[in-house]
Amino acid sequence: NLLLAKKGKNRYFGHRKRSWQSCCHSTRTEHAEIHFIEDVFQEQRSDPSAHCSITWYMSWSPCGYCCKQIKDFLKEQPNVNLVIYVARIYWHKREINRQGLRSLMNIGVSIRVMDLPGNDSWSYGDYMG
């Protein structure tokens, strides 16, 4: 799985914060999204109290286990807003993966499936009906 993360520029209390981008790859022992929240985010985050909007562009949607880890991360980081764009749904017939994505959507994470250039992306919720 390939994850490209992008934090947009925001204004906090009159000060301009920098934007940043990061690229994470899955390894045999760690999925890309876990590497991002455990390593990359912690290195980049300078002020835990500041609001942070993050957009992920992923080749695959998170698996059920990663969804739980992301949900726990967002509970610990209430000032983080996460938007996820995916190219494909990971093992969509497995209930644990579908439930994981639903649980992220239920806490406000936007999950969008990317489409070909010129077409709009569509919401994972549209797929689930």
Q: What is the pLDDT of residues 64-94, one digit of tens each?
A: 999 999 999 999 989 889 999 998 898 888 9
The SS3 of residue 54 is strand
pLDDT in tens, 42-58: 776 667 777 888 888 88
Neighbouring residues of 30: CB distance < 8 A, sequence distance ≥ 6 = none
The SS3 of residue 110 is strand
Q: How far apart are CA 46 and CA 57, in angstroms?
A: 23
pLDDT of residue 117: 65
Domains and CATH numbers, the chain: 2-128 (3.40.140.10)
Q: Give catalytic status of residue 33 as yes or no.
A: yes
Q: How far apart are CA 54 and CA 80, in angstroms?
A: 7
For the chain, give the mean pLDDT: 77
Instruction: State the pLDDT confidence band at 105, using cuts at 50, 70 and 90.
Output: very high
pLDDT of residue 93: 87
pLDDT of residue 16: 42
**Catalytic residue selected from 30, 33, 38, 76:** 33
pLDDT of residue 57: 87
Instruction: State the pLDDT confidence band at 103, using cuts at 50, 70 and 90.
Output: very high
Closest of 45, 46, 49 to residue 36, by C-alpha: 45
Residue 66 one-letter amino acid: C
